[in-house]
């Protein structure tokens, strides 16, 4: 049985209620931390655990916590990033919906470690029904004395609020999130200063993903060293993966980091293989922003080593032949998938979600989408393909926030690995004119030959 | 004081100076262009990305290069910092990209635009852009609207530098316009067509780098290079009263604030000075206004032309083009 740290009790009936959750060992980390540990000791355990941020960038959580300006006179804040809007990623939703108290418990323990007296869960507006679930859970926690004044009779007090966004992917970027939480337009801020120094209301702030905060519970309960034994190397612990696409068993899986990618896709424990007996064509391993990889490169690295579900192994080969673990949005495509259409869909998303603050992203995302739309619908030129590569290159690294990069990477990687498919669309406009062309013969088999050649 | 090197030129500047301002202290070609930063507007800058530079050496303490190009207008210098602007092909290539991005949705209607001749985007495109576009798609357009009776908003030309919103925030008592929507469909607009009307609103026209905000009382009266700019002042209890009059014969066609060589207003003026004193006799004339930048206004034969200086300027620009050492572009300037 693989190790489960987050979803162990997910199938227990009524685990969403305080009572059941508590009966299964819930809120033990709060008791342990508040009654037997200093805040710094909690931070120390998180450092030892090697836990890395689960929101996408993989920044070590303990290190981020230690950057928090503790000398400042201002209040400190912990903000949970539950904006989860990356196409392909739906793990936080599952966790909050099924086992909301795990997040609340993590928020209390983490807030104690950081010395926050007020904390927020910023959740995407589309998750309105989860807002209600969380608010109910928070109410229960207040009633049980785990929130509010003098928690469990200790001097520590905490208030916790849920704040819904208004439906913008960009508000998942931590500084845009803070702007939005302050009631302003959700534009990312220029960094530095980083939130650890000047975050919410210009006060020291830590922003962490839902899963990161939930992981703090088992770190405090079992100790950082124990947590670090799970996983592989610097990729410690377990990770929630949202698997979607052409697989037999899409869903959210908790995996121990270090699992071979091949096993994740093909074993019955996880994705259960490619549907309809088809072949694997490509995978977007960490949410729509990360580079797409063709089958042979997702299963094995360019060096021929087995590819593992770790931050390091997935990144092996850099952006030439590797990708990123990202937020764990694992999108699988079978042999019939049209890479151009898929890329156009992603580009449409980034175009729609750019905040419009800086010129390369504002103008470049729209440009790429329009060119891809033309190619996909049979109106492309050969020079459009290099144009796309160049536009992506001119966005990447030149913007205020990483959304620009997130828009550029899929384009650059799809063309790097599947250029012949783009050329096919340009060469045979009549064959791609049908909007469902990617499902039709002879397009399917002809393209297959191309990719096998 | 800290010591920094920009394109091989060393200079000492005060701590807390931005890279852009350090470069301005050196002057000349090493100064990065700036389309959104505005010295007198707090929090401006960082958005347009034309001022990107490369930091090859962060400081004496930390000699590592910065991983990405940085916005020079919002990055402070550190002691021992080494910066490349026009000596970095990477910077020039990125800048060319930004100029292209700024132009793809721009209408390029300079022949009928009141800003032509004093437009920062025109100058930028001339110095850093390429001659042909690679953009084949439809351009975004908006209807023109009046925001208040004195200001015309032609959103199609806007580059979303946010300067006018900072003016409204910092100079007027109440901002009633802002940015609506997001991405390339975001637009400057007033809240439900509310009129922008207060004593200092006219300054939004002066800070706008393009022809998106123009003076309704001047529109289509004259190309700016056919006017004679004069420095003038009057006693005003609301503002400094120091202005530039754009005149034709005895007529005052437009009153604007004075700008420095980076096209930034030195002292803001009130709407009374701007709109309500359009007679020469209202003003004490100081003399001809020298327009400092490469601008067609300075070529209007109004100021005595110094032929030697003109020749030097032409040579400087030719050298500048050569010195750019452009990496093989997709379209060359001569194509
Ligand atoms: C455009 C954009 C969208 C993002 N969306 C999310 C999100 O929905 N959820 C999230 O946790 N992090 C998101 N991030 C990452 C956050 O900026 C931040 O790195 C993260 O919340 C830090 O938490 P962690 O260290 O626990 O991963 C996004 C980043 C960008 C640039
Ligand atoms: S990169 Fe895009 S989303 Fe990020 S600040 Fe710039 S315009 Fe906004
Ligand atoms: S209207 Fe002018 S000043 Fe305002 S954002 Fe647009 S370009 Fe900038
Ligand atoms: S002037 Fe620096 S980013 Fe616009």
Q: What is the pLDDT of residues B147-173, one digit of tens each?
A: 888 999 999 999 999 999 999 999 988
Most confidently modeled range among A188-192, A436-440, B320-324: A188-192
Can you give the pLDDT at residue B326? 46
Sequence-ordered strand ranges (E) for A272-365: 280-284, 292-294, 329-334
DSSP E strand boundaries for B14-86: 52-57, 70-71, 81-84
A445: buried, middle or exposed (CB in 10 Å: 19+, 13-18, 0-12)?
exposed
Q: Which ligand is nearest to the CA of B124?
A: 4
Residue B302: pLDDT over 90: no
Q: What's the whole-model pTM score?
A: 0.93
Q: Please give the ipTM for the structure prediction.
A: 0.93
CA of B72 to the centre of ligand 4 (A): 7
pLDDT of A453: 43
Residue B182 Cα, ligand 2 centroid: separation in angstroms?
Answer: 10
CA angle at residue A68 from A195 to A397, to 5 degrees? 40
Q: What percent of chain A has pLDDT over 70?
A: 96
**Percent over 70 (pLDDT), chain B:** 90
Facing residue for A365 by CB, picked from B140, B160, B183: B183
Confidence of residue A87 (pLDDT cuts 50, 70, 90): very high
Render pLDDT for A289-326 as a digit per residue (tens, 0 to 9).
Answer: 999 999 999 999 999 999 999 999 999 999 999 999 99
- Please indicate if any CB of chain A lies within 8 Å of the CB of B48: yes
Res. B40: pLDDT tops 80: yes
The minimum CA-CA distance between B266 and chain A, rounded to whole Å, is 26
Distance from CA of B137 to the nearest CA of A (A): 7
| Site of tokens 């800058």 | B45
Q: Which residues of A touch B69 (CB under 8 A)?
A: 397-398
Residue A394 is nearest to which of B97, B181, B185, comparing CB atoms?
A: B97
Confidence class of residue B105 from pLDDT cuts 50, 70 and 90? Answer: very high
**What confidence score (pLDDT) does residue A451 get?**
54
Q: Name residues 104-123 of chain A within 8 A of B (Cβ).
A: none
Q: Look at residue B316 in the predicted model and tell me its pLDDT.
A: 78
Give the pLDDT of residue B323: 60
* B46 three-state secondary structure: coil
Mean pLDDT of chain B: 90
The verdict on B142 touching A (C-beta cutoff 8 Å) is no
Asked if B316 is an interface residue toward chain A (Cβ–Cβ < 8 A), one would say no
The residue-averaged pLDDT of B275-296 equals: 86
What average pLDDT does this structure show over A358-372? 98
> How many Cα atoms sit within 13 Å of B275 on the Cβ side?
18
**What mean pLDDT is predicted for residues B207-222?**
95
- In angstroms, the CA A152 to CA A414 distance is 54
**pLDDT exceeds 70 at position A426:** yes
Give me the mean pLDDT over the A397-416 stretch.
98
CA separation, residue B320 to residues B30, B55, B310 (Å): 10, 21, 15
Residue B325, Cβ density class (10 Å: 0-12 exposed, 13-18 middle, ≥19 buried): exposed
Residue A23 has pLDDT above 60, yes or no: yes
pLDDT in tens, A329-364: 999 999 889 999 999 999 999 999 999 999 999 999
Nearest of B295, B39, B272, B31 to residue B163 by alpha carbon: B39
pLDDT at B329: 45
Q: For B92-118, what is the mean pLDDT? A: 95
Which of these, A335, A353, A333, A329, lies nearest to A343 by C-alpha position? A333
d(CA B191, CA B180): 9
The stretch A370-389 carries a mean pLDDT of 96
Identify the weakest region by mean pLDDT among A91-95, B278-282, B296-300: B296-300
How far apart are the CA of B38 and the centre of ligand 4, in A?
A: 9
User: Do the chains contact at B98 and A359, CB–CB below 8 Å?
Assistant: yes
Would you say residue A412 has pLDDT above 60?
yes
Cα(B138)–Cα(B129) distance, integer angstroms: 20
| Residue range A361-383: mean pLDDT, rounded | 97
Q: How confident is the model at residue B233 (pLDDT cuts 50, 70, 90)?
A: very high
| pLDDT score of A245 more than 70 | yes
**Predicted local confidence at residue A449, as pLDDT:** 63
Kindly state whether B66 is in contact with chain A, defined as any CB-CB distance less than 8 angstroms.
Answer: no
Mean pLDDT of the region B39-46: 96
Whole-number Å distance, alpha carbon A251 to ligand 2 midpoint, is 31
Q: How does the average pLDDT of chain A come out, rounded? A: 95
Which residues in chain A are contacts of B185 at CB distance < 8 A? Answer: 356
Question: Torsions phi, psi of B12, nearest 5?
Answer: -105, 130
Mean pLDDT of B188-210: 87
Q: Angle, to 10 degrees, between the axis of helix A339-353 and the axis of helix A359-376?
A: 150
pLDDT level of residue B327 (50, 70, 90 thresholds) = very low
Residue A424: pLDDT band (50, 70, 90) is very high
Residue minimizing CA distance to atom 8 of ligand 1: A84
Q: Give chain B's end-to-end CA distance (angstroms, integer).
A: 47
pLDDT at position B303, please?
58
DSSP string, B177-205: EEEES-GGG-EEEEGGG----STTTTHHH
Q: Is the C-beta atom of A403 inside 6 A of ligand 2?
A: yes
What is the arithmetic mean of pLDDT over A71-91? 97
pLDDT tens per residue, range B171-185: 988 888 999 999 999
Peptide bond into A205 cis (omega under 30): no
**Does residue A358 sit at the B interface (CB-CB below 8 Å)?**
yes
**Rounded to the nearest whole angstrom, what is the distance from the C-alpha of residue B260 to the centroid of ligand 2?**
30
Length of chain A: 453
Domains of chain A: 18-229 (3.40.50.11540), 239-334 (3.10.20.600), 339-440 (1.20.1440.230)
Cα(A171)–Cα(A116) distance, integer angstroms: 22
Domains of chain B: 2-90 (3.10.20.740), 143-288 (3.30.70.20)
Chain-chain contact of B97 with A170 (C-beta, under 8 angstroms): no
Percent of chain A with pLDDT over 90: 93
**In which band, very low, low, confident or very high, does the pLDDT at B300 lie, cut at 50, 70 and 90?**
low
Q: What's residue B333's pLDDT?
A: 40
Residue of B nearest to A186 (CA): B182
Count residue pairs from A and B with Cβ separation < 8 A: 93
Mutate to test the pocket of ligand 2, among A357, A363, A409 (most ligand atoms within 8 A of CB): A357
Chain A residues 373-392 within an 8 A CB cutoff of chain B:
386-387, 390
Q: How confident is the model at residue A443 (pLDDT cuts 50, 70, 90)?
A: low
CB of A168 sitting under 6 A from ligand 2: no
**From the CB of A426, is ligand 2 less than 6 Å away?**
no
CA distance A357 to chain B (A): 6
Contact A400 B47 (CB under 8 A): yes
pLDDT at B5: 97
């Amino acid at each position: 049985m693989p190790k489960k740290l987050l979803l162990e009790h997910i199938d227990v009936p009524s685990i969403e209620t305080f009572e059941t959750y508590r009966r299964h060992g819930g809120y033990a980390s709060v008791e342990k931390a508040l009654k037997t540990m200093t805040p710094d000791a909690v931070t120390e355990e998180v450092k030892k655990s090697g836990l890395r941020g689960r929101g996408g960038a993989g920044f070590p959580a303990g290190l981020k916590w230690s950057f928090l300006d503790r000398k400042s006179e201002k209040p400190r804040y912990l903000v949970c990033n539950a904006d989860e809007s990356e196409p392909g990623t739906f793990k936080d939703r599952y966790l909050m919906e099924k086992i909301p108290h795990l997040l609340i418990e993590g928020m209390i323990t983490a807030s104690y470690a950081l010395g926050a007296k007020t904390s927020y869960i910023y959740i995407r507006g589309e998750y309105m029904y989860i807002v209600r679930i969380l608010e109910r859970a928070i109410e229960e926690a207040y009633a049980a004395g785990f929130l509010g004044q003098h928690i469990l009779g200790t001097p520590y007090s905490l208030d916790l609020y849920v704040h819904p966004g208004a439906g913008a992917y960009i508000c998942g970027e931590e500084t845009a999130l803070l702007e939005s939480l302050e009631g302003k337009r959700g534009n990312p801020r220029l960094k530095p200063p980083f939130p650890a120094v000047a975050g919410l209301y210009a006060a020291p702030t830590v922003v962490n993903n839902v899963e990161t905060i939930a992981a703090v519970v088992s770190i405090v309960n079992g100790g950082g060293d124990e947590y670090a034994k799970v996983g592989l190397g610097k990729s410690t612990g377990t990770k929630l993966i949202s698997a979607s696409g052409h697989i037999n068993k899409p869903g959210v899986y908790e995996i121990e980091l270090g699992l071979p990618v091949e096993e994740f896709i093909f074993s019955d424990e996880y994705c259960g293989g490619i549907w309809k007996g088809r072949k694997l064509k490509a995978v977007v391993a960490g949410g729509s922003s990360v580079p797409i990889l063709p089958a042979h490169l997702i299963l094995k690295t360019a060096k021929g080593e087995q590819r593992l579900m770790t931050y390091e192994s997935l990144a092996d080969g850099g952006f030439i032949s590797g990708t990123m673990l990202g937020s764990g949005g694992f999108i699988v495509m079978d042999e019939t998938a049209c890479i151009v259409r898929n890329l156009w869909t992603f580009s449409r998303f980034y175009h729609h979600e750019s905040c419009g603050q800086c010129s390369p992203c504002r103008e470049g995302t729209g440009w790429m989408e329009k060119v891809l739309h033309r190619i996909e619908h049979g109106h492309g030129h050969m020079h459009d393909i290099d144009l796309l590569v160049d536009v992506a290159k001119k966005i990447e690294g030149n913007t205020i926030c990483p959304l620009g990069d997130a828009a550029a990477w899929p384009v650059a990687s799809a063309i790097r690995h599947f250029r012949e498919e783009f050329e096919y669309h340009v060469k045979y406009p009549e064959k791609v004119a049908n909007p469902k062309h990617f499902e039709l013969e002879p397009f399917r088999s002809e393209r297959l030959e191309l990719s096998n050649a | 004081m800290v010591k920094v090197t920009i394109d091989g030129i060393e200079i000492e500047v005060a701590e807390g100076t931005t890279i852009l301002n350090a470069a301005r202290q050196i002057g000349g070609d090493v100064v990065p262009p700036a389309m959104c930063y505005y010295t007198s507007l707090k929090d401006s800058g960082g958005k347009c990305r034309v001022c990107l530079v490369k930091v090859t050496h962060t400081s004496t303490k930390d000699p590592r290069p910065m991983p990405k190009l940085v916005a020079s207008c919002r990055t402070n210098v550190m002691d021992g910092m080494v910066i490349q602007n026009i000596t970095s092909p990477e910077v020039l290539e990125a800048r060319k990209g930004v100029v292209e991005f700024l132009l793809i949705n721009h209408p390029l209607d300079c022949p009928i635009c009141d800003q032509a001749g004093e437009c920062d985007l025109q100058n930028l495109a001339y110095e850093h852009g390429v001659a042909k576009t690679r953009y084949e798609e439809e351009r975004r357009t908006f209807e023109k609207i009046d925001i208040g009776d004195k200001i015309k908003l032609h959103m199609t030309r806007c580059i979303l530098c946010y300067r006018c919103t900072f003016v409204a925030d910092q100079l007027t008592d109440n901002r009633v316009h802002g940015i609506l929507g997001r991405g390339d469909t975001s637009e400057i607009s007033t809240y439900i067509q509310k009129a922008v009307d207060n004593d200092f609103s006219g300054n939004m026209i002066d800070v706008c780098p393009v022809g998106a905000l123009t003076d309704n009382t001047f529109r289509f009266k004259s190309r700016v290079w056919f006017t004679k700019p004069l420095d003038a002042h009057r006693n005003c209890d609301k503002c400094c009263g120091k202005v530039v009059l754009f005149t034709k014969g005895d007529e005052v066609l437009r009153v604007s604030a004075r700008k420095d060589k980076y096209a930034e207003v030195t002292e803001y003026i009130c709407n009374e000075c701007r709109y309500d004193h359009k007679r020469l006799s209202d003003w004490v004339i100081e003399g001809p206004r020298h327009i400092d930048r490469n601008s067609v206004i300075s070529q209007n034969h109004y100021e005595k032309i110094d032929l030697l200086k003109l020749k030097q300027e032409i040579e400087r620009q030719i050298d500048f083009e050569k010195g750019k050492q452009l990496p093989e572009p997709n379209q060359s300037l001569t194509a």
